[in-house]
Chains A and B, each alone.
Chain A
Amino acid sequence: MVDIHAPHGSEARPGMGEPGTTREHHDHHELGFIQKYIFSVDHKVIGIQFMITGLIFFALGGLFAMAIRYQLAWPWEKMPVIGSVLFPNTGQAITPEFYTMLFTMHGTIMIFFVIIPLLTGAFGNYLIPLMIGAPDMAFPKLNMFGYWTMIPAIFCVFMAFIQPGGGPAAGWTAYPPLSTVTSAAPGSLSAQTWWLMALTWVGVSSMMGAVNYVTTIVKMRAPGMTMFRMPLTIWALFIAALLQLFALPVLTAASAMQICDRMLGTGFFTPTNLVVNQFNPETAGAAAGGQPLLWQHLFWFYSHPAVYIMVVPAMGLASDILSVHARKPVFGYKPMVYSMASIAGLGFIVWGHHMFASGMNPALGMTFMVATIMIALPSAIKVFNWLGTLWGSRIHLTSPMLFALGFVAMFIIGGLSGIWMAATPVDIYIHDTYIVVAHFHYVVFGGSVFAIFAAIYHWFPKMFGRMMNETLGKLHFVGTFIFTNGVFYMMHQLGMAGLMRRTADPYDYETYAHLQPLNEFITISAFLLFAWQIFFVWNFFHSMFWGKRVGRNPWRAASIEWDTPSPPGHGNFDAPLRVYRGPYEYASPEVEEDFVAQSRDLTGKSE
């Protein structure tokens, strides 16, 4: 019986029962600390490793954001801490090239070291075997390498900071020739090469993960777990892994080309007769005759699908959490799956919408516009289905549910504002303005990060066997929700006034002169948003050791990961497992309780 009142002793049972699959059972589970927690092949430990790494980088990327916001509110005035340490010669004000480095690394870290590792690395690793009833990943060692190839990536990123010029500064999109010609920017000296190598390592890590996820999901489902009985989280991670498999090689090739341009004197992206900062690469023996737009095509061929890698798993997580805490089946399970699949499919033919103003063939622009506008359709279907899920439900406003509701609200705003950007003529005005910044922060912060918070609150009991503090969780939600909107909703306003991204000091322009008070408001909201996360940090680490112990299934959820002890031992399931139904049988009239677990056999004896 899966019961919230399960005796506290239940999770003290050794987690090494007979797994419900044919995987061989290892007897020697007396692993040393290093093997158990550091070089672990256990998907759960690796998932938690990814999560801790991601959260640490989240703080770092957040600090970069704070510095950016500080400069925008009070340009060229003395900056606390950073100013006195790094800039004694400018009266503690940051320098313009440092500002370019800040937003470059903010974007890079948040995308490649926070969101993708947290969603696919942490939750992908942790949840996939548990939710499909497998004892571990298909390739545990490959999985371990997947985490440990993040270490060279992290090394490369930190190396990039200590290069002359002070860190890569060509934007996270690294458009050449700014990024390839060494004289073009201080950050393009050698830091850019380290940046490219970091990206390549992250790509290798993601690739290993993606291979593992796809194989595991296809081959290692528990008996009775058909594809259409998988939770939407698994579907989402499956689709994201496929996206990575198909898109990543292009990014890897593109960054290899850029490394060649920078180090071997090729000229993939360097046009002829180019002189930047009085330096002509051709006189130094480099080839030329390349085309800067080529990089944009290659980069966005990966990086647009990457946007969906960042939001599709979040959609899956949110769907699951909404269903559990609303005590109601997900509305339209199959349409949800199909819409995620079509987001992924269409995601490959919309990259050109980043290039509407680039001088790309306008006929191509038209095609990309239609595809881009149509990609709003599956997103709309998902929103309607989430609302359908909430309709007639019994919502329990727990921390995960609050963040999931926040996710839906933010995703509505972020999704709708995207339609303007897809429309080419309108995009001509709003391209690269703060509207774009507002849009993708609503999707990536309001969307993905809210879903990540929801998922952490939701699966924390499973990960550590202890609850996170609900009061602090709710407090965390309220502040985060208010300040997130305080920061990002206002950015729409900046964008409507025409404010460009990546502008260190816009107030000397007549068009922008009046925007400083608004930027000051946003900055203060951003500081509060950042500071507010202390509730989460404290709650997370405190609850990890001193939180209230829970049984197997504190949320009374139906999917099978809750059949395991909290935390699950090595090999996950301690009893033979068979799946009888879909993952969302809440409020079923068949039984007394308001949910039927996936593994519960209603035909024979009651559990």
Chain B
Amino acid sequence: MMRLLTTIMLLALLVFGLWSWVDYDYWLLGPSPAHYTWWWPEEFSTIGQDIDSLFYLIAVMVAVMFVITMGGLVLFTWKYSAKRQDKAVFSHGSHKLELLWTAVPAGLLLIIAFSQMSTFAEIQFASATQDEEGNDLPVHCEIWASQFDWRFRYPGKDGRFGTNDDFESPYELVLPLQENEEGDAKKLVFLLRSRDVLHSFFVPHLRFKRDAVPGMTQRIWLGIDDKQMEEVLATREEKSFDIICAELCGWGHYKMSGRVRVLPQDQYEAWVDEMTAQQFGNS
């Protein structure tokens, strides 16, 4: 009885663990709501694709290991818990097996480790926000984090901060869809800063997260994949996406929200015009 039950429970965990990769949401959780699945949100950044595929690369290896180890556990639990009078196999181990299951996972893990590096360098290295000659790319806007607000400060039309045509956008970060000479998405560079405690700038749809550390100015960049973005936008009426604070910043941590909206270049310029007009408006 216990033998059967234990085996079934372990087997259920194995099946469930694998099934969670396929689709078990409906019967358990009901229909997923508009535009959201129980899986991660769709992405439309230039690095998002890389991150997702690295995730799946690891997932494949992990799934294989999971089936081998968990399967072994289920099998052995069932097979060797039968009531028998003879003794167990008398073995203290096997040198060959040890070598095998050291070398193979080591190889797999090294593959995983080295496959991550270029993407990580592309995201975080200082060179990511510099041009080929090592000069800093111009800053698109400043991202200010404070308890419990996101503020996005744009340099205005003159492209420089600390002038009177700077305008602030509370809550909403607006990005243009820009292409460079090669037709790729242009990197948008931001200065990420915190006014008080630690915060973290997290945009699930862009697969981006970075802490805002008081006393430190971080240059970060985002790139928008326009085709991907159109696909995502086509499925939803709401055209903006959540910004979330990902580092505990006090009692109001959960309130610290913002939105990202991406506009085509012409619409973006119209938005800048509108914001400039508002900056000098009298409403």
Please say whether the chains A and B touch (CB closer than 8 A). Answer: yes
A497-B37 Cα distance, complex, nearest whole Å: 8
Check if B132 is an interface residue, CB within 8 A of chain A.
Answer: no
B91 and A392 within 8 A (CB): yes
Q: Which of A173-206 contact B (CB under 8 A)?
A: 175, 177-178, 181, 184-186
A404-B80 Cα distance, complex, nearest whole Å: 15
Given contacts A271-B214, A329-B91, A395-B80, contact A429 B105 (CB under 8 A): no
- Give every chain B residue within 8 A of A290 (Cβ-Cβ): 215
Residue-wise, chain A 381-398 has the 8 Å CB interface mask toward B (1 for contact) of 101110110111111110
- Give every chain B residue within 8 A of A178 (Cβ-Cβ): 197-198, 248-250
Check if B123 is an interface residue, CB within 8 A of chain A.
Answer: yes
Using CB atoms, name the residue of chain B closest to A98. B251
Q: Which of B70-119 contact A (CB under 8 A)?
A: 70, 72-73, 76-77, 80-81, 84, 86-94, 97-98, 101-102, 105-106, 109-110, 112-113, 116-117, 119
Check if B9 is an interface residue, CB within 8 A of chain A.
Answer: yes
Check if B41 is an interface residue, CB within 8 A of chain A.
Answer: yes
B87 and A394 within 8 A (CB): yes
Q: Which of B25-44 contact A (CB under 8 A)?
A: 28-30, 32-33, 36, 38-41
A587-B92 Cα distance, complex, nearest whole Å: 11
A521 and B84 within 8 A (CB): no
A425 and B248 within 8 A (CB): no
Check if B271 is an interface residue, CB within 8 A of chain A.
Answer: no
Q: Which of A48-75 contact B (CB under 8 A)?
A: none
Given contacts A272-B215, A376-B105, contact A392 B80 (CB under 8 A): yes
B92 and A333 within 8 A (CB): yes
Which residue in B5, B51, B93 is a CB contact (below 8 Å) of A428? B51
Residues of B within 8 A of A (CB-CB), count: 103
Check if B16 is an interface residue, CB within 8 A of chain A.
Answer: yes
- Give every chain A residue within 8 A of B69 (Cβ-Cβ): 383-384, 387, 412
A274-B101 Cα distance, complex, nearest whole Å: 52
Contacting chain A: which of B136-144, B163-171, B205-213, B275-283?
B205-213
Given contacts A388-B97, A416-B65, contact A424 B17 (CB under 8 A): no
Q: How far is the CB of A379 from chain B (nearest CB, A)?
A: 9
Which residue in B6, B98, B208 is a CB contact (below 8 Å) of A405? B6
Check if A489 is an interface residue, CB within 8 A of chain B.
Answer: yes
Check if A431 is an interface residue, CB within 8 A of chain B.
Answer: yes
Residue among B40, B106, B126, B254 facing the most chain A CB atoms (10 A cut-off): B254
B73 and A405 within 8 A (CB): yes
Q: How far is the CB of A330 from chain B (nearest CB, A)?
A: 8
Given contacts A185-B250, A357-B209, A498-B41, contact A275 B105 (CB under 8 A): no
Check if B253 is an interface residue, CB within 8 A of chain A.
Answer: yes
Given contacts A274-B214, A275-B195, contact A335 B98 (CB under 8 A): yes
Q: How far is the CB of A255 from chain B (nearest CB, A)?
A: 18
B6 and A425 within 8 A (CB): no
Check if B270 is an interface residue, CB within 8 A of chain A.
Answer: no
- Give every chain A residue within 8 A of B59 (Cβ-Cβ): 420
Check if A377 is an interface residue, CB within 8 A of chain B.
Answer: yes
Which residue in A99, A276, A381, A482 is a CB contact (below 8 Å) of B101? A381
Check if A402 is an interface residue, CB within 8 A of chain B.
Answer: yes
B29 and A521 within 8 A (CB): yes
B70 and A291 within 8 A (CB): no
B250 and A497 within 8 A (CB): no
- Give every chain B residue within 8 A of A221 (Cβ-Cβ): none
Given contacts A277-B147, A359-B211, A586-B88, contact A492 B20 (CB under 8 A): yes
Check if A419 is an interface residue, CB within 8 A of chain B.
Answer: yes
B213 and A432 within 8 A (CB): no
Q: How far is the CB of B255 from chain A (nearest CB, A)?
A: 8
Q: Which of A362-389 contact B (CB under 8 A)?
A: 362-363, 365-366, 369-370, 373-374, 376-377, 380-381, 383-385, 387-388
Contacting chain A: which of B182-190, B224-232, B239-247?
B239-247
B120 and A366 within 8 A (CB): yes
Which residue in A292, A328, A505, A514 is a CB contact (below 8 Å) of B89? A328
A177-B213 Cα distance, complex, nearest whole Å: 9
A362 and B125 within 8 A (CB): yes
Check if A282 is an interface residue, CB within 8 A of chain B.
Answer: no
B197 and A177 within 8 A (CB): yes
B213 and A359 within 8 A (CB): yes
Check if A259 is an interface residue, CB within 8 A of chain B.
Answer: no
Given contacts A359-B218, A481-B9, contact A587 B89 (CB under 8 A): yes
Check if A503 is an interface residue, CB within 8 A of chain B.
Answer: yes
Residue-wise, chain A 333-357 has the 8 Å CB interface mask toward B (1 for contact) of 1110000000000000000000001
Which residue in A331, A417, A426, A497 is a CB contact (below 8 Å) of B51? A426
Check if A408 is an interface residue, CB within 8 A of chain B.
Answer: yes
- Give every chain A residue within 8 A of B101 (Cβ-Cβ): 380-381, 384
A429 and B215 within 8 A (CB): no
Check if A6 is an interface residue, CB within 8 A of chain B.
Answer: no
Q: How far is the CB of B9 from chain A (nearest CB, A)?
A: 6
Given contacts A96-B254, A271-B215, A587-B88, contact A357 B246 (CB under 8 A): yes
B116 and A184 within 8 A (CB): no
- Give every chain B residue within 8 A of A429 (Cβ-Cβ): 40, 51, 55, 204, 207, 209
Which residue in A369, A432, A505, A588 is a CB contact (below 8 Å) of B90? A588
A363-B127 Cα distance, complex, nearest whole Å: 12
- Give every chain A residue within 8 A of B249 (Cβ-Cβ): 178
Given contacts A384-B69, A432-B247, A505-B254, contact A511 B88 (CB under 8 A): no
Given contacts A178-B198, A387-B73, contact A500 B54 (CB under 8 A): no
Using CB atoms, name the residue of chain B closest to A416. B62
Given contacts A332-B98, A358-B211, A405-B6, contact A373 B246 (CB under 8 A): no
A409 and B5 within 8 A (CB): no
Residue among B2, B66, B205 facing the most chain A CB atoms (10 A cut-off): B2
Q: How far is the CB of A91 from chain B (nearest CB, A)?
A: 18
A397 and B2 within 8 A (CB): yes
Q: A425-B119, A497-B38 given; name 8 further pairs at CB < 8 Å.
A: A170-B248, A331-B94, A369-B117, A383-B69, A392-B88, A419-B61, A425-B47, A502-B248
Q: List 5 A-B contacts (CB under 8 A).
A: A97-B251, A175-B198, A380-B105, A419-B61, A485-B16
